[in-house]
Homo-oligomer: A and B are copies of this chain.
Amino acid sequence: MTYCLGIITDTGLIMAVDSRTNAGVDYVSTHQKLFNFSRLGDRVIVLCTAGNLSMTQAVLNLLHRDIDTQAEVNLHTLDSLYEIARYIGGKVRQIREQDRQWLEKDRIDFQCSFLLGGQIQGKAPGLFLIYSQGNCIQASKDTPFLQIGEAKYGKPILDRILSFETTLEAAAKCALLSIDSTMKSNISVGPPINLVMYEKDSFKIRYELRLELEAPYLSQMRRLWEVSLNEAFNRMPDVDWDQYLEVPNSPTRGEI
């Protein structure tokens, strides 16, 4: 699996991914899943990929080819992020048409999804999720994050911490904690973690991180978080058993 996370706030964007891919449990490897198609000063375009590696790589190849051949429509010519999301969705559909009947013969689902974050000159920053079917959704102020891949383990912390007003610094920490929690609970998500911070209207990536498992910051964060969670847990009040107690009458009937 994979875990990719995009966060949009009123001051910019955070995009973060793990790097583990697996085909079953006996073929696990490390692949880059965060790709920067930005053009300095003109546009910032960051893509994260999840799903079947052959499908995401095929789509990326088509995106590169259009740039390299200076096709009329490519990631550098389209003038809105929505258009770009639909354009990427079109590439997904193209690969889908090409491969689907062969995959279906072996009952392999066509599964790949993308997060697209960035900003184009003259427009607001945006964050999109492009589905396996080629359609897309956009993050909004109410829920300022989108996830693809193994998203559930890392969602509770986002639900409790993030808002559109969160600083980029805090959003980056929150993203790292969310991915680290996922890595602890699911071996199909693993290091290194790649993270990009983009400040609105700057039209260049501010920071790019690549954190290996043993990166001092990651170890420190994990240790502190574990200690803090355990302390918080120990402060939870005891259950007031007597108040809620329902003594079973005759507990042989199967229902309490």
Give chain A's interface residues, CB within 8 Å of chain B: 32, 34-40, 47, 60, 63-64, 67, 76, 150, 152-157, 159-161, 169-170, 172-174, 176-177, 181-182, 184-186, 194, 196, 205, 207-211, 215-217, 220-221, 224-226, 228-233, 235-241, 243-248, 251-256
Contact = CB atoms under 8 A, between A and B. Distances in A.
Contacts of A40: 251-252
A247 B40 CA distance: 13
A156 B159 contact: no
Given A32-B256, A205-B248, A209-B244, 14 more contacts: A35-B255, A36-B251, A76-B252, A152-B152, A152-B185, A153-B156, A156-B185, A160-B184, A174-B233, A177-B233, A177-B236, A210-B246, A216-B243, A217-B237
Contact of A155 (B67, B172, B185, B207): B185
Contact of A256 (B155, B161, B172, B196): B196
